[in-house]
Homo-oligomer: A and B are copies of this chain.
């Protein structure tokens, strides 16, 4: 979901800069961990952050990937604790906006609150779309549907928003299957591809 199309920016201009803090992380470092007290909402300035949860059997599940400009952990505003961990996938800089400050600001300024509602609404839409995608069993069809739903999918060019590997994970496929299906589709003339640039043929 690397911001998959819809740039879910957390509008920082709504808040007081003095209530923000810059944090740098090396690859593999955690910005916060599941269960930590929720203290802030974050925006990625540089790098890549993955929201992950570790399942009982030790597996990692990636819930969300936030690239440059994207915010994450907004939902933590109304939760006492983080419900997942945030891991820097590469050297990363994030800005932390105090949860308390955000709440105060939103509570006193209804217009800002409304902007925030709009943001959350969009997220809900996006998540639902992703969930619906996952219910398509065939890898081929799932990929096609994903491409269709993406901006430019109906006639224009599509830019994959992340390394193919990550897109594959987003789709719930192994990267091998993803590669294979892409080349199959290209061989059949259904799509044209140049790296991360794809075009669907009518």
Interface readout for A61-97 with B: 1 if CB under 8 Å, 0 if not? 1111100000000110111000110000000000000
Q: Is the CB of B132 within 8 A of A131?
A: no
Q: Is the CB of A131 within 8 A of B79?
A: no
* A154 in the interface (beta carbon within 8 A): yes
Q: Is the CB of B61 within 8 A of A145?
A: yes
Query: Interface-forming stretch among A13-21, A110-118, A178-186?
Result: A110-118
How far is the CB of A140 from the nearest CB of chain B, in Å? 10
CA distance A24 to B113 in the complex (A): 34
Which residue of B is nearest A64, CB measured? Answer: B128
How far is the CB of A118 from the nearest CB of chain B, in Å? 4
With a CB–CB cut-off of 8 A, which chain B residues contact A193?
A: none
Contact of A125 with B83 at beta-carbon distance under 8 Å, contacts A110-B107, A114-B106, A117-B116 already known = yes
With a CB–CB cut-off of 8 A, which chain B residues contact A59?
A: 136, 141, 148
How far is the CB of A59 from the nearest CB of chain B, in Å? 7
Contact of A75 with B125 at beta-carbon distance under 8 Å, contacts A117-B117, A132-B62, A136-B61 already known = yes
